[in-house]
Amino acid sequence: MANFVRHETIMDFENKPQLGMGIYTPREIADILKMDYAKVNRWISAYWDGELGKEFESCYSWKVDGSKAVSFHTFVELYVMMRFSESGVRTRKILEAHKLLGQKYNSPFPFALQEVLNGISTDGKKIFLKDKEGNIITLDGTKQLNLSIIELFFKKLEFDSGSLASKYYPMGREKQVVMDPKRKFGHPVMGNTNIYPETFYGMFKAGEPKNYIAALYEVPERLVQDAIDYCMAA
């Protein structure tokens, strides 16, 4: 019962804007993950706030300045579940898998759990999800799941002691651009600082040398270069 209360508290805490949970609008999610905005917005409204929200008698999103927004954990789940959808898995089956894993792990965010993400596999025709007891959930798709994309996404995540995703590195762990929901509402920042990559990039575009920017902010020049690379890719 104590475990149930812990995860119920997570849901209660993440269905409204709070420090430390991250705040992401559908547009921001689409830009960061390079996904279709309309599809991201539709999935949040129809599935997280609709069907999945009914499981916890709550919405997964809230309004920020008139725009819908979700937490970091919903951001992570959205990527995984939309990849399944792109592989031809019917939405109904994805939602059923979410509910089943949610019950097994007693969590409203099963697709943001390390064990679940690490247990995804495919034989080219079917997607297999292994739960903590070793049981297999099978999802039938019409297209092949590119498992390397899921694995790459997994490698870009950092997990907390409770196995939930806690940070995301959009350019990979070897680069110093990080999305930490405990800093700057989860928006990309540089290394251990609270500096946005756009800050360095703006100075660079204005003609300031990278070594000067690094010296001014007392950071390694490599961090400035990572910020430039991130903004140019975006």
pLDDT digits 0-9 by tens, 93-140 = 998 898 889 888 988 899 999 999 999 999 888 899 987 788 899 999
In this structure, are 150 and 44 located in the same domain? yes
How confident is the model at residue 3, as a pLDDT? 39
In this structure, are 136 and 216 located in the same domain? no
Tokens of 149: 């994309």
In this structure, are 97 and 199 located in the same domain? no
What 3 state SS string does the chain have? CHHHHHHHHHHHHHCCCCCCCCCECHHHHHHHHCCCHHHHHHHHHHHHHHHHHHHCCCCCEEEECCEEEECHHHHHHHHHHHHHHHCCCCHHHHHHHHHHHHHHHCCCCHHHEHHHHHCEEECCCEEEEECCCCCEEEEECCCCCCHHHHHHHHHCEEECCCCEEEEECCCCCCCCEEECCCCHHHCCEECCCCCCHHHHHHHHHCCCCHHHHHHHHCCCHHHHHHHHHHHHHC
In this structure, are 52 and 141 located in the same domain? yes
- Which structural domain, as residue segments, surrounds residue 21? 2-155
User: How far apart are alpha carbons 182 and 173 in whole angstroms?
Assistant: 18
* Residue 91 covered by a domain: yes
Confidence of residue 196 (pLDDT cuts 50, 70, 90): very high
In this structure, are 22 and 117 located in the same domain? yes
* Residue 35 covered by a domain: yes
Number of folded domains in the chain?
2
Confidence of residue 211 (pLDDT cuts 50, 70, 90): very high
Work out whether strand 157-159 and strand 136-140 pair parallel, antiparallel, or are unpaired: unpaired
Render pLDDT for 163-181 as a digit per residue (tens, 0 to 9).
999 999 999 999 999 999 9
Confidence of residue 192 (pLDDT cuts 50, 70, 90): very high
* Residue 105 covered by a domain: yes
In this structure, are 194 and 129 located in the same domain? no
* Residue 121 covered by a domain: yes
In this structure, are 195 and 103 located in the same domain? no
Final residue of a structural domain among 132, 155, 178? 155
**Does residue 227 have a pLDDT over 90?**
yes
In this structure, are 142 and 224 located in the same domain? no
Q: What is the pTM of this model?
A: 0.87
In this structure, are 18 and 95 located in the same domain? yes
Render pLDDT for 45-103 as a digit per residue (tens, 0 to 9).
887 767 776 665 566 777 777 788 899 999 999 999 999 999 999 888 998 898 889 88
**Does residue 14 have a pLDDT over 80?**
no
Higher pLDDT, 14 or 78: 78
